[in-house]
Amino acid sequence: MIPVTKSYLPPFEDYQARLEQIWRAGWLTNNGSLVKELTGELCKYFGIKQLELVANGTLALQLAIKALNLTGEIITTPFTYVATATSIVWEGCTPVFVDIDESSFCINSELIEKAITERTTGIMATHVYGNPCDVETIKKIARKYSLKVIYDAAHCFGVKIDGQSILLHGDISTLSFHATKLFHTAEGGAIVCRDEKISKHISLMKKFGHHGEDRYLEVGINAKMSELHAAMGLCVLPKVDEIIVSRRNCAEYYNKLLDGAGLGRQHIPAGVEYNYGYYPVLFPDHERMMRVRQALIDNGIMPRRYFYPSLNTLPFLSSHGQRPCPVSESVVKRILCLPIYFGLEHSDIEQICKIILNP
């Protein structure tokens, strides 16, 4: 079987050495030495001052909403993983869906202003497949209407704009370190916030709102990363650049073999250092996509309809009824993510492309 992605696993002896550190210390969680080390190494990698590690990317989104005191309506995209929108609902807010740009697959910044009401407090936009949103336009809109901006940067490990980390944009950026991501801690995530005061508040909230031995300062939650997960991250991080190069080679080979096949591609703007976390292709119609998908599955190849469905069509996410998002609703019927991961062989890509061209 060829899966859509495969977790990079470091040499077992590297992870075992980290586990021995944990065993010697006898410290499994609560901001142990490996969590502190991984935090420092990630700050160096991204070129940022502070970062809070958390148990997963969904909790990162929820804590971001809490930390910025968002209420009422939050403008977001329908073309993203369901956790982006459900985190809004979970925190007692209402997702207001704005359609996507048909070339970037990210939220259409030209439509955001029309969706703002007196109840709007924030914008939560996803850098889809690691492709940056129109951050400059979103920043201008946010300033004009005094809105907070959260970027779901779950796919963005290593992505840069004009030489700087994409995580420097917005009030808060959140990351996922799930096992399916190119950098992972098996389960985990992170929150990046340039405001040190807000970052410290997040640090407090993620550990029950508990400071010291007996000071309980506010309502919090358990969102801490364990030493076991940090150990995995410390073993994967030194290989990240090699992982990205491997994925880029896969993407370039796909591009070569599928040239002229009539498939749409996501537009990556100039100045973006992309991480090749995904390889989405857009078919001209739903029927051809489904025919190719089934042919791949029949041959032991597992692509993914990522993302499907368009979130504005889910009744439990649309308090005001279903807001039409025609571009997103069209794209979800035609998009397919092809296998891409460290160690994927060119012969596998040849097999995949042969089926796509002759399903």
Q: Convert the pLDDT of each residue in 93-133 to its tens digit.
A: 999 999 999 999 999 999 999 999 999 999 999 999 999 99
pLDDT recorded at residue 316: 85
pLDDT digits (tens, 9 = 90+) for 302-325: 999 999 999 999 988 876 556 799
- DSSP assigned state of 181: S
Is residue 26 packed enough to be buried (19+ CB in 10 Å), middle (13-18) or exposed (0-12)?
Answer: exposed
Q: Are residues 61 and 79 in the same domain?
A: yes
Average pLDDT of the chain, as a whole number: 96
Among 222, 238, 254, where does a domain finish? 238
* Residue 352 in domain: yes
**Is residue 315, in this structure, part of any structural domain at all?**
yes
How many domains, the chain?
2
If asked whether residues 137 and 194 sit together in one domain, one would say yes
Condensed to tens digits (0 to 9), the pLDDT of residues 127-144 reads: 999 999 999 999 999 999
Domain that holds residue 328: 240-357
Task: Give the length of the chain.
Answer: 359
Q: Are residues 150 and 298 in the same domain?
A: no
Q: Are residues 44 and 175 in the same domain?
A: yes
Specify whether the CB–CB gap between 286 and 337 falls below 8 A. Answer: no
Task: CATH number of the domain at 134, please.
Answer: 3.40.640.10
Is residue 179 domain-shared with residue 155, that is, in the same domain? yes
Measure CA 239 to chain center. Answer: 19
Q: Which one of 221, 238, 255 terminates a domain?
A: 238
Lowest mean pLDDT among 208-212, 238-242, 261-265, 330-334: 208-212
Which pLDDT does position 315 carry in this prediction?
86
Q: What are phi and psi of 125, to 5 degrees?
A: -110, 145
Outline where DSSP puts E strands in the chain.
52-54, 73-76, 94-97, 120-126, 148-152, 160-161, 164-165, 172-176, 189-193, 210-211, 215-216, 272-273, 280-282, 335-337
Measured CA angle at 201 (ends 199, 205), to 5 deg:
120
What CATH number does residue 338 fall under? Answer: 3.90.1150.10
Residue with tokens 């201008």: 140
Which region among 208-212, 262-266, 301-305, 339-343 has the lowest average model confidence (pLDDT)?
208-212
Burial category of 292 from C-beta neighbours within 10 Å (exposed 0-12, middle 13-18, buried 19 and up): buried
Instruction: Please state the pTM of the whole predicted model.
Output: 0.96
Pairs from 352-355 (Cβ < 8 Å, separation ≥ 24) = 352/2, 352/254, 352/296, 352/301, 353/254, 353/257, 353/258, 355/292, 355/295, 355/296, 355/299, 355/301
Q: What does the pLDDT read at residue 214?
A: 78
Query: Order of strands, edge to edge, in the sheet holding 272-273?
Result: 164-165, 160-161, 272-273
Specify whether 121 is located in the same domain as 48: yes
Same domain for 41 and 149, yes or no, is yes
Same domain, 92 and 216: yes
